[in-house]
Amino acid sequence: MSRLVYSTDIGRRCPTCGQASKECSCKNTQSTPSGDGVIRIRRETKGRKGKGVTIVNGLLLDAKELKVLGKELRQKLSTGGAIKDHELEFQGDHRQALKTLLETKGYSVKLSGG
């Protein structure tokens, strides 16, 4: 099956809906995740050969806002990280620092796990 991604008539097209990229309806249907509004911070080592990461979930932000927040927090913590499945991952154990940073931004935060 071939999908048209460019047309000389209108330029770039969305591969999903086939409309022009500027008029794409697919982008508009992506919504923020639902939840109780409480951000949970946990530490995980599973599947990482013993290396610990701190995972932040429960953020009710869209993809762009989440990316901006993740970058800002990584810079303040001076650490690496990623966004996976609408969760922020930070390398190392930064639970307390993340809790204080997010609380100063006005979020309701809980530490979960042991």
Given pLDDT bands bounded at 50, 70 and 90, which one contains residue 1?
A: very low
38 and 57 both lie in a single domain: yes
Q: In the chain, how many domains are there?
A: 2
Given a cut of 80, whether residue 15 has pLDDT beyond it is no
Please report, for the chain, how many H helices and E strands are present, in that order. 3, 7
pLDDT at residue number 62: 86
Report the predicted TM-score, pTM, of the whole model to 2 decimal places.
Answer: 0.70
62 and 98 both lie in a single domain: yes
Residue 20, domain extent: 1-30
8 and 50 both lie in a single domain: no
Supply the CATH number for residue 50's domain.
3.30.780.10
pLDDT tens profile 33-62: 667 789 999 999 888 788 899 999 999 888
26 and 38 both lie in a single domain: no
73 and 106 both lie in a single domain: yes
Place of tokens 């309806």: 25
What are the strands, taking DSSP E only, across 1-114?
Answer: 6-7, 11-12, 38-44, 53-57, 81-84, 87-91, 108-111
60 and 8 both lie in a single domain: no
DSSP H or E stretch at residue 100:
helix 95-104
3-state secondary structure of 43: strand
38 and 67 both lie in a single domain: yes
Does residue 11 or residue 78 have the better pLDDT?
78
35 and 49 both lie in a single domain: yes
Edge-to-edge, what's the strand order for the sheet holding 38-44? 81-84, 87-91, 53-57, 38-44, 108-111
